[in-house]
Amino acid sequence: MPRRHHVIPQQSILPSGYTRLNYIEGTGTQYIDTSLSAANGFDFECAVIFTRMFAGDNTYQPYIVGSHNMSYPYGRNGVQIDYNSFFQLGLGDTYPRCSTQATENTKYMLKGSTVKGASYLSINGNVVISSADSSARSSNPLFVFYNQWEYNANRRKSYIRLDGEMILTINGVRHELIPALRCVDNKPGLYSVSQDVFLVNAGSGEFLFG
């Protein structure tokens, strides 16, 4: 399969009062609501490490980033691993998966798209999924580390470390989500450069960070 190479842009400068972090890490109950909607799909780029796996548990299907309607039609719209830890895309009515199985404490460089008719997933520079699916995508806000389907609470849990920034591109607009610490209260989260807003945990507990 063809290779797609990562382009590392110059780092954005955070505003005063914030410190850039190397990572934030979810421990099963934390997630970020980006408030960004991507009804036609979106491009993504990030590096992740799965710190805990539940291979074989069919209730555990965590999203890395994406959206999902609460009932049919589900409008899948994101990237995740399935219950056997294989990477897959959520693309409207379909969820193509690849033969790459995630393992604990391994870093994965992900780049891809859920855009209708031109979806793909690249892992560590190798394209492992390519799809022309054009079915409807969810217009719900994109969540980081959270599956919005309410069927089973375990589906919403993510034990994932975001290693560095996450880049989302929606309708040609680039959104950089940078792991950061708010200095006034030592609150970890993601600083959204395009929105000029600090996004904090929308779940319970708190992100690990470093």
Q: Is it the case that residue 122 has pLDDT exceeding 80?
A: yes
Q: Is it the case that residue 149 has pLDDT exceeding 80?
A: no
Q: Which pTM was predicted? A: 0.90
Within a domain: residue 155?
yes
Q: Is it the case that residue 155 has pLDDT exceeding 70?
A: no
Q: Which domain holds residue 115?
A: 18-209
Rounded mean pLDDT, 126-152: 86
- The answer to whether 27 and 205 are in contact (CB under 8 A) is yes
Within a domain: residue 9?
no
Alpha-carbon separation of residue 2 from 80, 121, 127, 129, 143 (angstroms): 22, 11, 6, 11, 29
Within a domain: residue 7?
no
Within a domain: residue 66?
yes
Please choose, from the candidates 145, 161, 210, 205, the residue with its C-alpha nearest in 3D space to the C-alpha of residue 181: 210
pLDDT digits (tens, 9 = 90+) for 44-92: 999 999 998 776 666 567 789 999 888 888 889 999 998 888 999 999 9
Q: Is it the case that residue 126 has pLDDT exceeding 70?
A: yes
Within a domain: residue 12?
no
Q: Is it the case that residue 112 has pLDDT exceeding 60?
A: yes
Within a domain: residue 124?
yes
Q: Domain of 67: which CATH number?
A: 2.60.120.200
Within a domain: residue 73?
yes
Q: Could you give the number of structural domains in the chain?
A: 1
